[in-house]
Amino acid sequence: MNASTNATVVDLRSDTVTQPTAGMRAAMAAAPLGDDVFGDDPSVNALQAALAERLGFEAALFMPSGTQSNLCALMAHCQRGDEYIVGQFAHTYRWEGGGAAVLGSIQPQPLNHAPDGSLPLADIEANIKPDDAHFARTRLLALENTIGGKVLPMDYLAAASALARRHGLARHLDGARLFNAAVALDPADPYAAAGRICAHFDSVSVCFSKGLGAPVGSVLCGSRELIGRAHRWRKMLGGGMRQAGVLASAAHHALEHQVRRLADDHALAKRLAEGLQGLSGLTVEAPQTNIVFCDVATDIAADLVAHLKSRGVLTTGLYKLRFVAHLDVDADGIDRTIAATREFFSTRQG
Ligand SMILES: *Cc1c(COP(=O)(O)O)cnc(C)c1O
């Protein structure tokens, strides 16, 4: 656990709350810098080249946020009046302020998720519009992996990708937590697993500010041509940064040193889910990666979140109760969370 963490608070609201580790801060302090708008920040260029190579793409572009990275990708794939097929609970549809529609004039076609987080192939196919002036032009399939902490099956990715190709659709992956999926699939060689996932997509966005532990930043990967178009949008959206290598070096450190350790977060999530079993009024979903979702009655959710807060445990309860494990939480914090939750239910019943 990080020395900089406030030891009295267990913050499970998100894996975005992580603080840079000592090794990461050292890498940031030592990073050679230039002006990235001129394209000559060596640390930014090194990160972009390293991620593109690891994931099997021609080019990559460092972005201030995952939201901007996804938006630049959507705008690079789609024109005004085009449409992308996307999940109802996908970040690129539900959690990005409607940016694709507002700033890109791109229409979303949201679909319901299957229980495993995938978009059923028949639903995708049924929603690809014919070439007819009544319809927006269906141009892109946008998937997310992990989605709600779940890993999309590899055979599903192959089938969805083939379907999109057959219909002439481009394929974008919101891989904010790509490496969580990769570590879950192959803890021994997560980089190879990440490459296998990415082989099914024309573009992939990866967040470094989540479980990977960097303070800021995402990277969009794709063909040289697509990244060229995304670069123009990034500038227009205000995402051109200058000595950005101070941030890119943190992401690069994470890429080299903090991927495999995501398995620790997955183990903590499992420990938490097991510890919360058997409480009447709380249904725990078995986690596949670092996120534990629980169903609680809506009238209980707010009280439980407040109770946990009074015990120094922070969490969120927007649709479901959500606990996210990350590098600034340890087994002790997880056990405190279990104890505080059990205490809540015992006092309610008593
Ligand atoms: C966090 C996240 C993003 C990007 O979020 P930013 O806060 O803009 O960096 C995109 N997609 C998913 C699935 C995410 O979880």
Please name the helix (run of DSSP H) or strand (run of DSSP E) that holds residue 246, with its range, or none: helix 245-257
Ligand 1 lined by 176 (C-beta under 6 Å): yes
Residue 33 predicted with pLDDT over 60 = yes
Residue 253 predicted with pLDDT over 90 = yes
- In angstroms, the CA 143 to CA 161 distance is 10
Pocket test residue of 72, 207, 210, 324 for ligand 1, highest count of atoms within 8 A of CB: 207
Q: Would you state the pLDDT for residue 2?
A: 53
Residue 7 predicted with pLDDT over 90 = no
Please name the helix (run of DSSP H) or strand (run of DSSP E) that holds residue 163, with its range, or none: helix 154-166
**Cβ contact 272:292 at 8 Å:** yes
Tell me the pLDDT of the chain averaged across its residues: 96
CA 345–ligand 1 middle distance (angstroms):
32
Ligand 1 lined by 69 (C-beta under 6 Å): no
Q: Would you state the pLDDT for residue 249?
A: 98
Residue 3 predicted with pLDDT over 50 = no
CA 50–ligand 1 middle distance (angstroms):
21
CA 267–ligand 1 middle distance (angstroms):
22
Please name the helix (run of DSSP H) or strand (run of DSSP E) that holds residue 207, with its range, or none: strand 203-207
Ligand 1 lined by 262 (C-beta under 6 Å): no
- Which burial class, exposed, middle or buried, applies to 123 when counting CB atoms under 10 A from its CB (0-12, 13-18, 19+)? middle
Report angle CA 294, 299, 304 to the nearest 5 degrees: 55
CA 207–ligand 1 middle distance (angstroms):
7
Could you please state the CATH topology (level 3) that the domain comprising 261-347 is classified under.
Answer: Aspartate Aminotransferase, domain 1 (3.90.1150)
Q: Would you state the pLDDT for residue 8?
A: 84
Residue ranges matching CATH 3.40.640.10 in the chain: 22-258
Ligand 1 lined by 174 (C-beta under 6 Å): yes
- Mean pLDDT in residue range 197-216: 98
Task: Report the 10 Å Cβ neighbour count for 159.
Answer: 15
Q: Would you state the pLDDT for residue 349?
A: 60
- In angstroms, the CA 168 to CA 163 distance is 9
Q: Name the DSSP class of 336.
A: H
Q: Would you state the pLDDT for residue 209?
A: 98
Nearest residue (by CA) to ligand 1, atom 5, is: 66
User: Which residue has tokens 């969009």?
Assistant: 220
| Residue 209 alpha carbon, nearest atom of ligand 1 | 9
Residue ranges matching CATH 3.90.1150.10 in the chain: 261-347
Pull the structure tokens for residue 61: 């572009």
Q: Grade residue 26 by pLDDT with cuts at 50, 70 and 90.
A: very high
Residue 13 predicted with pLDDT over 50 = yes
Q: Which of 112, 113, 120 is nearest to 149 (CA)?
A: 113
CA 66–ligand 1 middle distance (angstroms):
5
**Cβ contact 283:253 at 8 Å:** no
Pull the structure tokens for residue 333: 């914090």
- In angstroms, the CA 191 to CA 178 distance is 10
Residue 4 predicted with pLDDT over 80 = no
- Mean pLDDT in residue range 78-89: 97
Residue 236 predicted with pLDDT over 80 = yes
Ligand 1 lined by 143 (C-beta under 6 Å): no
Q: Return the percentage of the chain with pLDDT > 70, whole number.
A: 97
CATH of 22-258, one of 1.20.950.20, 3.40.640.10, 3.90.1150.150, 1.25.40.850: 3.40.640.10
Q: Would you state the pLDDT for residue 31?
A: 98
Q: Would you state the pLDDT for residue 299?
A: 80
Ligand 1 lined by 289 (C-beta under 6 Å): no
